[in-house]
Amino acid sequence: MKAFLLAGGKGERLRPLTECMPKCLVPIRGTPLLGFWLDALARQGVGDVLINVSRFPDQVERFVESRGGAGPRVRVVAETIPVGSAGTVAANRGFVDGEESFWIVYSDNLTNADLAPMLACHRTHGDVMTMALFRTPEPHASGVVSLEPDGRISGFHEKPARPIGNLANAGIYLARQALFECIPEGLALTDFGHHVLPGLVGRMHGYAIDGYIADIGTPARLARAEAEWPGF
């Protein structure tokens, strides 16, 4: 399989750390986030990964080289103009030509969840996408979903003012080729949460993952993750 590892954000909320490195290389107990994800994807049999980077792509390339060929093959795409999370996937559609399904992962999340059961779940249905879900303590800051008894997502609300629950998007997707037909064209920035996922309600399944998960978005969250991180 192949995977998009989305790392195009500027990491503005993590300054001053991100003034000298890309967000995906911010370390947790000495290991960059990117390293955790490359190892996790390798465990799922992913052979090729595309990483988009908007700042310091040379640092990402050096880190990949430092791994000495461990894990999947990596293609680093430097984005001089931001196009949004879904925009990156659409612009690099050729990377997954011929793939029945592929992973899409937000690199600024940290998790030790075993993704194999999610892949098994994905293979039981024919919907456009399977979305990893978790119980969030901050639903107003997340993409909140509602589920049918069979696991199909019946509602999606990005950062709702009045959340309907706390079951939220974990930023890990398994998608099929039909996804590309659902990404709108003509937008300067095309975001999954705002422009794609609401239109997939009724056409995607949710899978609640087990284990630790945290969004490394601010210095406070980074410090908390370093204190809490249980490892694999």
Tell me what pLDDT residue 11 has. Answer: 60
Of the candidates 196, 200, 2, the one whose C-alpha atom is nearest the C-alpha of residue 98 is 2
Q: What is the largest CA-CA distance in the chain?
A: 48
Tell me what pLDDT residue 38 has. Answer: 95
Query: What b-and-e string marks burial along 175-187, b requiring 16 or more CB atoms within 10 Å of the CB?
Result: bbeebeebbeeee
Residues 6+ apart with CB under 8 A from 150: none
Q: What is the pTM of this model?
A: 0.93
What value does the mean pLDDT of the chain take? 91
Q: pLDDT tens across 47-70, in order?
A: 999 999 988 899 999 999 998 878
Find the mean pLDDT for residues 196-205: 96
Written as six digits, the tokens of 174 are 């398994």
- The helix/strand/coil state of 83 is coil
Query: Is it the case that residue 198 has pLDDT exceeding 90?
Result: yes
Q: pLDDT tens across 120-154, in order?
A: 999 999 999 999 999 988 898 889 999 999 999 99
